[in-house]
Amino acid sequence: MSYFLHPSSVVDEGANIGNGSKIWHFCHISSHARIGTNVSIGQNVFVGNQVSIGNSCKIQNNVSIYDNVTLEDGVFCGPSMVFTNVYNPRALVNRKSEYRTTLIKRGATLGANCTIVCGTTVGIFAFVGAGAVVNRDVPNYAIVVGVPARQIGWMSEHGERLSLPTSGVGEAACPQTGEVYRLTGTTLTKKED
C-alpha cells in the first residue's frame, strides 16, 4: 500500500488511491472511487462510487462526497461542508437515474458548512465562504457568500482578496505574490508574463 489508511477506516476493493494520500479515522471509500496522489482525507469522510478526487486535495472532517462529484487538483473542502447529487430527493422515490453532475475546479476552496447544490460548477481558485449555499455556477476566482450564495469579490490563486469590482474592467495585483489579474466584464483571468 502506497498510502496511509487508519485502521478504523474502510476502503472497498477496487478503489483507486494515489501515492502519498492519507485516509484518517472512520472513513469509507467506495469501490469505484478514484483518489489522486497526496490527498488528505479527514475523519468521518464518505467517498461514493462515482467520485473523482484530483491530486493534492484536502477533505476536512465530516464531508460526504456523493456520486457524480468531481474535484480537480488542489481543492479544499472545509469541515462539514455538503454535496448533494439529487435536486429534489424523496425517500419514497428512487432518483438514482437523475443524479446531477457537480464539478469543483482546480484550486477552489469550499468553506466550512457550505452546501454545493448538485449540477453546479465552482470555477478555478474560487472561494465559497463558510455556510454559503451554492445553487448556481461560480466564476473562476470569485468569492461567494450567503444564502443563496452571491458574489462579493475576487480572490487570487494565493488566497488573497483582490481590489476589483464584481464587474467592469480593471487590473489588480495579489498583495502576496504580485501576480496581476485582469477583469473584463464578469470574467477574471490571471495575466501571463
What percent of the chain is predicted at pLDDT more than 70? 99
Q: In this predicted model, which residue has the larger pLDDT, 192 or 138?
A: 138
Type of residue found at 185: G
Give pLDDT, residue 154: 97
Express each pLDDT in 75-100 by its tens digit.
999 999 999 999 999 999 999 999 99
Cβ atoms of 4 and 21 within 8 Å: the answer is yes
Mean pLDDT of 99-114: 98
Mean pLDDT of 114-120: 98
Cell of 71: 474535484
Sequence-separated (6 or more) residues with CB below 8 Å from residue 7: none
Cβ atoms of 66 and 53 within 8 Å: the answer is no
Q: Which CATH number fits domain 4-163: 1.10.287.3240, 2.160.10.10, 3.30.70.2860, 2.30.30.100?
A: 2.160.10.10
pTM of the model: 0.96
With 80 as the cut, is the pLDDT of residue 69 above it? Answer: yes
Mean pLDDT of 146-171: 96
Cell of 42: 479527514
Residue 180 confidence class, pLDDT cut points 50, 70, 90 = very high
Angle 159-36-104 from CA coordinates, rounded to 5°: 45
Distances, alpha carbon 24 to alpha carbons 4, 14, 43, 69, in Å: 8, 19, 5, 21
**Burial readout 171-182 (b: 16 or more C-beta within 10 A, e: otherwise):** ebebeeeebbbe
With 80 as the cut, is the pLDDT of residue 193 above it? Answer: no
Express each pLDDT in 17-35 by its tens digit.
999 999 999 999 999 999 9
Give pLDDT, residue 1: 66
Cβ atoms of 117 and 87 within 8 Å: the answer is yes
Type of residue found at 62: N
Residue 192 confidence class, pLDDT cut points 50, 70, 90 = confident
